[in-house]
Amino acid sequence: MSESNALLEAGEMIAEQLDEIYQLLFERFGPQHWWPGETQFEIITGAILTQNTNWANVEKAIANLKSAGCLTAEGLYRLDLSQLAELIRPAGYYNIKAKRLKNFINRLFDNYAGNLTNLESVDTDKLRVELLAIKGIGHETADSILLYAFNRAVFVVDAYTARVAFRHGLIEPDSDYEQLGELFQSHLPSDTKLFNEYHALLVKVGKEFCRREARCSGCPLEKLPHTPDIEYF
Ligand code: SF4
């Protein structure tokens, strides 16, 4: 077999594995209804606040912002840093997160007249670069914003994604964020609905079974070949 045919065959096998994983997860868990949030701005705020905390804490912070009538670009822009930090206190690391939210808002006002609609026409690669240039917004947050707030076909990678991919031999365990994202993006149809659901299902299986110490018994992916002792935090 030629090298190009072997690569093609390997790619098809990975695509089949990814499809099988998705089907098994969806059959077990059903639709996850991500991302929780009534507006595009709320989704972005949640994506920034959810770093290093659980979602219940984010919901409390978002409820505070809503009660104060500040859950809009204009509302957050007008708050001073200490007021914002106080409102988002339940989300933890509130001083740092207040700065991150302000960094995002300031960039939005400086470059896009404070209007999220002006970001809709920005090409996905450029928008990703813009988001990553904001201090405190990393790959996972940027891609969550792209996928869930702007409906762009970008696969979000997190620790759960990495664990499942490594433990199921889909990619080498030393692969980085970009390589993991590329694994999914290049072997799945470019479909925002699929990427949305797939990421949410990986989080679900990661929380319930594929933890730091894998609990394979009863996991929907148990019947697939896997190596649970690969550690990933
Ligand atoms: S818990 Fe085990 S079977 Fe489930 S995804 Fe992780 S390695 Fe696979």
Per-residue pLDDT for 116 more than 90?
Answer: yes
pLDDT average, residue stretch 187-207: 97
Asked if 98 contacts 88 with a C-beta cutoff of 8 angstroms, the reply is yes
| Cβ–ligand 1 contact at 170 (below 6 Å) | no
CATH of the domain at 74: 1.10.340.30
Q: Looking at residue 94, what is its pLDDT?
A: 98
Phi and psi, residue 174, nearest 5°: -100, 15
Q: Looking at residue 206, what is its pLDDT?
A: 97
| Cβ–ligand 1 contact at 139 (below 6 Å) | no
- How many domains is the chain built from? 2
Ligand 1 atom with the smallest distance to the CA of 228 is: 7
Q: Which domain holds residue 63?
A: 40-149
- Asked if residue 163 and residue 140 are part of one domain, the reply reads no
In 3D space, the residue among 181, 161, 183, 160 whose CA is nearest the CA of residue 171 turns out to be 183
- Asked if residue 137 and residue 45 are part of one domain, the reply reads yes
Q: Taking the model in full, what pTM does it have?
A: 0.94
Expressed in angstroms and rounded, the spacing between residue 50 Cα and the centre of ligand 1 is 25
- Asked if residue 131 and residue 184 are part of one domain, the reply reads no
Q: Looking at residue 208, what is its pLDDT?
A: 97
Q: How far is it, in rounded angstroms, from Cα 122 to Cα 117?
A: 10
